Chains A and B, each alone.
Chain A
Amino acid sequence: AAGVIQSPRHLIKEKRETATLKCYPIPRHDTVYWYQQGPGQDPQFLISFYEKMQSDKGSIPDRFSAQQFSDYHSELNMSSLELGDSALYFCASSSGGEPSTDTQYFGPGTRLTVL
């Protein structure tokens, strides 16, 4: 079965640079979530999109922005990177229509290292 695709898998940036993370949800999934997982921590919700509209917002810094495109893929844009942004960034997708598909399926994550 098709899974959530994230790219790149690994990314190394310098402080104050920008980064763009991409997420391709499971086919026919209309909802995308972004989570940030720091070392030794649980995933923290950043932002989500349902049918290309922002549906919820968590602890996402103002330096970060995201959007969902017409093909349902999503991009997380991160500017003025700081050392503390080093983390594993997960994208998850679900189908918001039917209750039985509320389950979020996670991609493999993008490991961002800020030097």
Chain B
Amino acid sequence: AQTVTQSQPEMSVQEAETVTLSCTYDTSENNYYLFWYKQPPSRQMILVIRQEAYKQQNATENRFSVNFQKAAKSFSLKISDSQLGDTAMYFCAFMKAPRGYSTLTFGKGTMLLVSP
């Protein structure tokens, strides 16, 4: 079974600053996907970024980037130029590959508060 650990229950950052959210996972699988989802106060689950384990290059989506360290089983999310709208709960999630109907295993989440 897979486990996902987010060791930071809460974090805060000021607008325009950079923040990094941590995530570690444990698995015996060699092929898998990792995701970051955000859940704002509306409770909608929104995909932030995705990383395939077989890719060495770290994924980037605009202000969001990851630092994927496969050997260390670490998958951190960096948010640059933080905006008030980034305030949300952030969940790290693991999915076995390659079949599309594998389920997601989530971490407990990190609540990020962006202040003016």
> Which residues of A are at the interface with B, using a C-beta cutoff of 8 A?
31, 33, 35, 41-43, 45, 48-50, 55-56, 58, 88, 90, 92, 94-99, 101-106, 108-109, 111
> Is B44 a contact of A106 with CB atoms below 8 Å?
yes
A-binding segment of B13-21, B61-69, B77-85, B90-98: B90-98
> Which residues of B are at the interface with A, using a C-beta cutoff of 8 A?
33, 35, 37, 42-47, 50, 52, 91, 95, 97-109
Q: CB < 8 Å: which of A58, A90, A94, A109 contacts B100?
A: A94
Residue of B nearest to A104 (CB): B104
Known: A103-B47, A106-B45, A109-B43. A42 touches B100 (CB 8 A): no
> Is B47 a contact of A105 with CB atoms below 8 Å?
yes
Q: CB < 8 Å: which of B43, B97, B101 contacts A99?
A: B97
> Is B43 a contact of A88 with CB atoms below 8 Å?
yes
> Is A102 a contact of B108 with CB atoms below 8 Å?
no
Bound CA span A74–B103, Å: 16
> Is B101 a contact of A50 with CB atoms below 8 Å?
yes
Residue of A nearest to B100 (CB): A96
